[in-house]
Structure 1
Amino acid sequence: MRGRLLFVAGAAIGYVLGSRAGHQRYEQIAAGASKVWHSAPVQKQVVKVERAAEAVLPRVVTGLFHVVLWAVKKLLGIQTTPKRGTA
């Protein structure tokens, strides 16, 4: 019984000390990540990616719509015939 009590006490002390050190390290990592994220070169690339995504998004949504429509029709057993000139 004494061994278990000592183990639990040691685990509790280790947890408290570890969580303090862990929290400090987390704050360091978060501050570093924020600094990198807000830097000019990273933000320049973010803008490029946003513009590229905006250009492609309508085609992706349309394609996804057609895939979902096909899947629903297949699931419900609705016959689909290809449009002229698409086959």
Structure 2
Amino acid sequence: MRYRLTFLTGAIVGYVLGTRAGRERYEQLRKAAQRVAQNPAVRNTAESAAQNGRAAAAKAAGVVGAKVGDRLPGSVTERMRSLREQRTPADDDWGTSNT
């Protein structure tokens, strides 16, 4: 409940400040956010974080699969195996450029 109240308060404050600031301020903030997002240092950091996250997820999947693999239904195990075989390490469907 506490998190819902915090979110609701933040949404209300954002709405009030947004309506007071107007469209001009919104456009300024949007352009500033775009400049930050297009910054090469930010992009490289985001890409490396995504790669690290994928590596951690793959490692966790291996550990979980080893621990509960024999308890999973055969259809789930077969699906996981087929997905592993289809995907190569070079596949990158997250939109990152690996630069």
Q: TM (normalized to structure 2)? A: 0.39
User: Which protein is bigger by CA-based radius of gyration?
Assistant: 1
